Amino acid sequence: MEYIEDTRQQTKVRHTLKDILVIVLFATLANADDWVEMALFAESYQDYLRKYIELKNGIPSHDTIRRVMGMISPEILQQLYGKWQERLDKNDGELLKKIICIDGKTMCSNKRGEEKASHIVSAWSKEDGFCLGQKAVEEKSNEITAIPELLEKIRIKGQIITIDAMGTQTAIAEKIRQKRADYVLALKKNQYTLYEDVKEYFSNEEFLEKMRENGGYKKTQEKAYGQIETREYYQTEDIKWLSQKKNWKGLKSIVMEKKRIEKAGKTTYEYRYFISSLKTDIKEAGRAVRGHWSIESMHWHLDVTFREDANTTIDKMAAQNLNIIRKWSLSILKPAELSRHKLSMRKKRFVVSLRPIKYLEELLEA
């Protein structure tokens, strides 16, 4: 915790930053969602907490916890989270390229009057289950300017960056290639001409047959939630005809995902299109396309597992820091085995709340 500089007037400080951060992280793991619950957790388990922190002046009030969390720089807290992750990273090298997904989420309850809610753009490592970095902006449309700044701050060399259609911009593709990473960028009608050209190409059955014959094709099937999902991936480097090719730094291939959904006797189809700096490697391209769901899953957990959108913290800095703590907690809980039963993230938090001393010890030693 010494990594975080304490900018408060030291003569008035009664509770150290380390005390506050340990309370917030441990309480969040143990199912506390707001400042009052965090203070109540600390009061109930102060003897246990003293194994890790001093608590020289007792337990801080919930107002003190909130106020101090609003004074810490989110960038510094993110770096501390990164230091923790580095200690756990075994660098197994199982995959040559990691999938780094970039997307934004609005903190819906972080709004008062005419003031806009914070919108957090995150870079999420699918393989590590870890947030590499984030940047707060005032609204979703600002993602376009935030993404290059976020990419500048994180290490992406040799990895694959996936971004949804809003981030499919020539400047962003150029920034990714400058940092010697690859990209798989979604296409929608905001890139209208490019989208229509790629869509039309993949509607040609003759071209699809060539891809199936030449190794640019992969098919998967999954059963879940009472439905069968069949995904077909197509990839080709035959893009000399693409009029906008020269505008996209490092563009080497285009990709299509065709998804067939069978449920209750009905069949529906969904099509998604992408541009990529990857040469034809359908296994890698399919992994990148499918892998982008991991950041959407992370955002879902923030809302459902940690009830982020129900938290009415108005202070922007405190809200952003809580967002980091929740991602940190998710990174700890996801690999944890707390029961012989398979548990959801929400139930894992509930289990920790039943016996915090036992389970927090296990999580910290994992």
On the question of pLDDT at 69 being above 60, the answer is yes
d(CA 212, CA 288): 19
The residue from 276, 291, 319 where one domain ends is 276
Per-chain mean pLDDT for the chain: 91
What phi, psi does 212 have (nearest 5°)? -65, -35
Per-residue model confidence (pLDDT) at position 322 = 95
Let me know: does 319 contact 107? Beta carbons within 8 Å: yes
The residue from 257, 276, 295 where one domain ends is 276
Helix/strand/coil (H/E/C) assignment for every residue in the chain = CCCCCCCCCHHHCCCCHHHHHHHHHHHHHCCCCCHHHHHHHHHHCHHHHCCCCCCCCCCCCHHHHHHHHCCCCHHHHHHHHHHHHHHHCCCCCCCCCCEEEEEEEECCCCCECCECCCEEEEEEECCCCEEEEEEEECCHHHHHHHHHHHHHHCCCCCCEEEECHHHCCHHHHHHHHHCCCEEEEEECHHHHHHHHHHHHHHCCHHHHHHHHHCCCEEEEEEEECCEEEEEEEEEECCCCCCCCHHHCCCCCEEEEEEEEEEECCEEEEEEEEEEECCCCCHHHHHHHHHHCHHHHHHHHHHHHCCCHHHCCCCCHHHHHHHHHHHHHHHHHHCCCCCCCCCCCHHHHHHHHHHCHHHHHHHHHHC
**What does the pLDDT average to over 250-261?**
97
Residue 202: inside a domain: yes
Angle at 130 between CA 127 and CA 133, to 5 degrees: 125
Per-residue model confidence (pLDDT) at position 31 = 97
What phi, psi does 102 have (nearest 5°)? -120, 130
d(CA 289, CA 309): 27
On the question of pLDDT at 164 being above 80, the answer is yes
Same domain, 269 and 342: no
d(CA 273, CA 59): 54
Same domain, 192 and 266: yes
Let me know: does 231 contact 263? Beta carbons within 8 Å: no
User: Sign of the CA dihedral 138, 140, 144, 148?
Assistant: positive
Residue 156: inside a domain: no
Per-residue model confidence (pLDDT) at position 97 = 86
d(CA 294, CA 292): 5
Residue 255: inside a domain: yes
For the chain, give the longest Cα–Cα distance: 76
Would you tell me how many other CB atoms lie within 10 Å of the CB of residue 358? Answer: 12
pLDDT digits (tens, 9 = 90+) for 139-148: 766 889 999 9
Per-residue model confidence (pLDDT) at position 364 = 82
Residue 86: inside a domain: no
Residue 141: inside a domain: no
Residue 210: inside a domain: yes
Q: Specify the number of domains making up the chain.
A: 2
pLDDT digits (tens, 9 = 90+) for 283-323: 999 999 999 999 999 999 999 999 998 888 888 899 999 99
The residue from 229, 244, 276 where one domain ends is 276
pLDDT digits (tens, 9 = 90+) for 221-249: 998 878 999 999 999 999 999 999 999 99
Residue 177: inside a domain: no
Residue 281: inside a domain: no
On the question of pLDDT at 110 being above 90, the answer is no
pLDDT digits (tens, 9 = 90+) for 13-44: 788 899 999 999 999 999 999 999 999 999 99
Domain with 192 in it? 187-276
Same domain, 269 and 343: no
